[in-house]
Amino acid sequence: MEKLFTLLDANYDEMVGIRRHLHEYPELSFEEVETPSYIATFHRELGHEVREGVGGRGVVAILRGKKPGKTVALRADFDALAIQEENDVPYKSKIAGKMHACGHDGHTATLLGLAKALNAMRDEIEGNVVFIHQHAEEVAPGGAKPMIEDGCLEGVDVIFGTHLWAPTPLGEILVKDGAIMAAADKVEITVQGKGGHGAEPHHSIDAVTLSSQFVVNAQQLVSRRIDPLKSAVLTIGHFEAINPFNVIADRVVLAGTIRTFEEEVRTQMEQELEAVLNATCLAFGASYEYRYTRGYPPVYNHQSETEFVAQIASTVPGVDQVITCPPFMIGEDFAYYLEKVPGTFFFTGAKKPEWEKAYPHHHARFDFDERAMLIAAKTLGKATLTYLKEN
């Protein structure tokens, strides 16, 4: 593996350059044009087989080793977020209202840097490596599912992926078999009451008051209806009533997210949330519209592949410790790949040592330690070559 590590060390400056270029020119989910073109050009210059427009805007590149063997897939996402960047850095986003605030620019740079290193070892590789560059991870229905339907996993025996994780210190790798990330669902609600004069509430059905009561009532689902040994999160993040200050609102629009790990709990939350809404509206004589949209399923890591990566990571230069982490309530459409083939998804610590606290992902001041890309590339690269050699 020393050759791989030496090649990656040599590629590090280029990886940083790629990351910063992508950071300056972010593209939102389902709007990616220049980014996939950039990725495809990079792989073609290496001589890889390249397919563009996979599942919409995805890119798949294949490196075929000189010797026959199994096929490993590696995935990186490349979409950005609708956030105005507030960082004062040389590589600050040049596109107003758009920013790489989750590290996907780093994921892409990591995979391209690794692709170049593995390409230089083509004659030594026993099998094939499929580089899955995925669009639209941030917005459901996401890019993973249509890419799979378009054949990105054909012939793949195992898949590995990582997320650069700013809250975790540089040098730490987080792994977990089973559920590591939650199902991420969306709920949209419209409450219809009866408007009126602010001084005459008895002639109206106050949509604001009853919607507020619903939000409070709904929080008891998790605390009083869900088995305390199981997990669920309910967050109402949008509450809107556009009205003058002295008018009782007739209509309120709400939206939120529900996060769960188990299908039984997921279904219970979907059904009982509407029951609470129905009961609250019935008490006040209001009506409602309710739409529950199932987003990404939970990310379930396969045990043997997770243990394999954990063992690999513990021997990678720059990794100080490998930690079995608790599950996260965030969502990821990497879940769809793991429903089709064995594999694992892990977190690579990316918090700079000098930071007392990192800004969270999806924050306007988000950033990460770029050295994490090198650790991620070495971990993915060693996992790939070891798997191919041993299988």
What is the set of active-site residues?
79, 137
Tokens 């199981």: give the residue: 230
Neighbours of 60 (CB within 10 A): 27
What CA–CA distance (Å, rounded) separates 187 from 257? Answer: 6
For residue 45, the tally of other CB atoms under 10 A from its CB is 11
46 to each of 49, 57, 67, 114, how far by Cα in Å? 9, 21, 18, 12
Of 133, 134, 157, which is closest to residue 341 (Cα–Cα)?
Answer: 157
- Answer for the pair 131, 60: CB distance below 8 angstroms, yes or no: yes
Does residue 84 contact residue 65 with C-beta atoms inside 8 Å? Answer: no
What do you get for the CA distance between the two ends of the chain, in Å? Answer: 17
Cβ–Cβ < 8 Å for 353, 368: no
Please compute, for residue 143, the number of CA atoms within 13 A of its CA located in the half-sphere on the CB side. Answer: 27
CA distance 189 to 319: 46
- Cβ neighbors of 107 (< 8 A, separation 6 or more) are 76, 77, 78, 162, 163, 164, 376
Instruction: Tell the residue number behind the tokens 């350059």, with chain if given.
Output: 17
CB 205 within 8 A of CB 285: yes
C-beta atoms surrounding 169 within 10 Å: 18
Say how far apart CA 297 and CA 185 lie, in whole Å: 9
CA angle centred on 234, ends 229 and 235, rounded to 5°: 145
